[in-house]
Chain A
Amino acid sequence: MKASTVRRVGGRLASLFASLLIALSLAFLLGRLSGDPTATILGPMAPPEQREALRHQLGLDLPVVVQYLDYLKGVFTGDLGQSLQFYQSNTSMIADRLPYTLQLVGAGMALALLVGVPLGVLAATREGTWWDRGASTLALLGQSVPVFWFGMMLVVLFAVKLGWLPAGQSGSPRHLILPALTMSVYPMAHIARLTRASMSDALAEPYIDSARARGISTRRVVWRHAFTNAMMPILTIVVLQTGILLSGAVAVEYVYSWPGLGQLALQAIQFRDFPLVQAIVVFGALVFVLLNLLVDVLHSIVDPRVR
Chain B
Amino acid sequence: MSQLELDPVTAPVSPPRRAGRRARTSAFWLALPLAVAAVAVFVLPLTGLLPDGGQNLDATRQPPAFLAGGSWAHPLGTDKLGQDLLTQFVSAGRLTIVIGLVGALVAIGPGTLLGLLAGYFRGWVDRVISILIDAQLALPFILVALAIIANRGSSLPVLFLVLALTGWAVCARVTRAATLAIRERQFVVGLRAAGASEPRIVFRHILPNLAGTIVALGTLQVGTAILVESALSFLGLGVVPPMNSWGSMLASGQDELSQAWWIAFFPGLAITVLVLLVNLLGDALLTHHDPRKRRR
Q: Answer whether A and B are interacting partners.
A: yes
Residues of A whose CB lies within 8 Å of any CB of B are: 15-16, 18-19, 22-23, 26-27, 30, 33-34, 140-141, 143-146, 148-150, 152-153, 155-156, 160, 193-194, 197-198, 233, 240, 243-244, 247-248, 250-251, 254-255, 265-266, 268-270, 272, 274, 277-278, 280-281, 284-285, 287-289, 292
Bound together, the chains give a CA A134 to CA B119 distance in angstroms of: 38
B58 to chain A minimum Cβ distance, whole angstroms, is 25
Set A23, A194, A266, A270: member contacting B139, Cβ < 8 A: A23
Give 3 nearest A-B pairs by CB, closest first: A149-B268, A144-B276, A144-B275
Bound together, the chains give a CA A153 to CA B266 distance in angstroms of: 11
Chain B: CB-nearest residue to A141: B276
Within 8 A of A (CB), among B246-273: 247, 250, 253-254, 257-258, 261, 264-265, 268, 271-272
Within 8 A of A (CB), among B80-95: none
B146 contacts A285, C-beta separation under 8 Å = no
Bound together, the chains give a CA A33 to CA B279 distance in angstroms of: 37
Residue numbers in B under 8 Å from A251 (CB-CB): 231, 234-235
B142 contacts A247, C-beta separation under 8 Å = yes
A-B contact pairs, 12 of them (CB 8 A): A16-B138, A19-B134, A145-B272, A145-B275, A153-B265, A193-B296, A233-B296, A248-B142, A250-B146, A269-B147, A270-B236, A284-B140
Question: How many residues of chain B get a CB closer than 8 Å to chain A's CBs?
Answer: 45
Bound together, the chains give a CA A33 to CA B134 distance in angstroms of: 25
A30 contacts B148, C-beta separation under 8 Å = yes
Residue numbers in B under 8 Å from A156 (CB-CB): 257-258, 261, 265
Bound together, the chains give a CA A34 to CA B231 distance in angstroms of: 24
**What mask results when residues 122 to 141 of chain B are scored 1 for a CB within 8 Å of chain A, else 0?**
00000000011011001110
B151 contacts A160, C-beta separation under 8 Å = no
Set B143, B235, B275, B295: member contacting A280, Cβ < 8 A: B143
A88 to chain B minimum Cβ distance, whole angstroms, is 19
A281 contacts B268, C-beta separation under 8 Å = no
Bound together, the chains give a CA A270 to CA B234 distance in angstroms of: 14
Contact status of A281 and B131, CB under 8 A, knowing A140-B280, A251-B231: no
